[in-house]
Amino acid sequence: MTLWLAFALMTVAAIFAVLWPLSRRGSSRGGSDIAVYRDQLDEVARDRASGLIGEAEAEAAKVEVSRRLLAAADAAETQSASSDASPVWRRRATALAGLILLPLGAAALYLMLGSPQMPGEPLAARSAATNDGRSIESLVAQVERRAAQNPDDGRAWEVLAPVYMRLSRFDDAARAWQNSIRLNGDTAARESDMGEALAAAANGVITADAKAAFDRALALDKDDVKTRFYLGLAAEQDGKRAEAEAIWQDMLSHAEPGAAWVPVVRHALERVTSSAPGSAAAPAAPGPKAAPVAPGPSAADVAAASKMNPGDQQQMIAGMVARLADRLKQDGSDVEGWLRLLRAYAVLGESDKAKNALTDARRALSAEPDKVRRIDDLAKELGLQS
């Protein structure tokens, strides 16, 4: 109702602007000039009577003013005749046309171009409808349908991969990056992103496939930050602390001032240098425990790690260790997972959990002597008792 009232007031204002000039007669400019010149004649007479000007000057002034007075009188007569020649009915017809045609024209345009039949709807409802129509799930489904109809659409896979990562659909993200690399070409960023997805799908463990992806990324760009961080993490998980330290130390030495990734790399470096190799099997010292070497940050964790304090980072890593243990209980055939779990428990100083994991690993891999041998070699290296 308020909107229609505003429209009505605007229409009235427009009509008033059109009709106002038509309601006024022509200005009597000639009559005003005549009055001025008559006043000047009276002033000349007063000046002559008071002796301010001479007789000759007074006569000259009267002649000039009289000439102007006659010209103004002729102009006023001509203007009056012209005004009388414009019939009143023309002005009235023009005013009536503006009064009727202007609103009718506006209404016709609205009916042609507007939506008069659309029902009113509150702003909240319209906003909700817009958000529902553009939800991330519906957009992903739309792109997924496009990719299913055209599996060779490299752009669709390039769009889907990072969205899958944000939705924690890590296996789908790795598959999408693989397709993107196949269709769009091999780049360091794509290989690094695929390795990150594979690591996230393995609860932060740098698997052989993830390591291979990072190696390919490093071959394409030896300075890629994400690639180097994860390769350092892979070295740490494999017990190669000196190699991890060298990678991360070199990253920090070449870091630009204020780089967002510096805190997480610095914390990782402190983790590998805080305890000497071989001390993992010793009882944990009082105070905060060292962070485990096994699981690295997931895709979302890496982005947020620089904002975490050490306590939060400790909780994050402990949660990933727990998820790795749960996964191995469901599928114990992953020897790499068992090796990393044993190292994680050892570095955390949780010897009882490490021994239990060793027993579970031997049981799960009992049908594969080669894998059991790898487990036993690591247990001997870590000083675990069977």
State pLDDT tens for residues 59-94: 777 778 777 777 777 776 666 555 554 556 666 677
What's phi and psi for 320, nearest 5 deg? -70, -35
* Distance from the Cα of residue 180 to its chain's centroid: 23
Q: Residue 238 burial (CB < 10 Å; 0-12/13-18/19+)?
A: middle
pTM for the structure as a whole = 0.44
* Distance from the Cα of residue 94 to its chain's centroid: 55
State pLDDT tens for residues 207-239: 889 999 999 999 999 999 999 999 999 988 888
Q: Residue 347 burial (CB < 10 Å; 0-12/13-18/19+)?
A: buried
Match 């071989």 to its residue by tokens.
Answer: 278
State pLDDT tens for residues 338-356: 888 888 787 777 888 888 8
What pLDDT score was predicted for residue 80? 58
Tell me what the pLDDT averaged over the chain comes to.
75
Mark out the alpha helices in 121-258 (DSSP H runs). Answer: 123-133, 136-149, 154-166, 170-184, 188-201, 208-220, 225-237, 241-253
- The answer to whether 106 and 37 are in contact (CB under 8 A) is no
Average pLDDT over residues 236-254: 89
List Cα–Cα distances, 285 to 156, 233, 380, in angstroms. 52, 24, 22
pLDDT bin (cut points 50, 70, 90) of residue 201 is confident
List the one residue out of 358, 322, 336 whose CA is nearest residue 234: 336
Rounded CA gap, 54 and 239, in Å?
124
Rounded CA gap, 88 and 91, in Å?
5
Rounded CA gap, 136 and 199, in Å?
24
Average pLDDT over residues 313-337: 76
Q: Tell me the three state secondary structure of residue 247.
A: helix
What pLDDT score was predicted for residue 130? 44
What pLDDT score was predicted for residue 118? 60
State pLDDT tens for residues 362-371: 999 999 998 8
Between 22 and 234, where is the model more confident? 234
Percent of residues, the chain, with pLDDT higher than 70: 69
Residue 314 has pLDDT above 80, yes or no: no
Percent of residues, the chain, with pLDDT higher than 90: 17
What pLDDT score was predicted for residue 88? 60
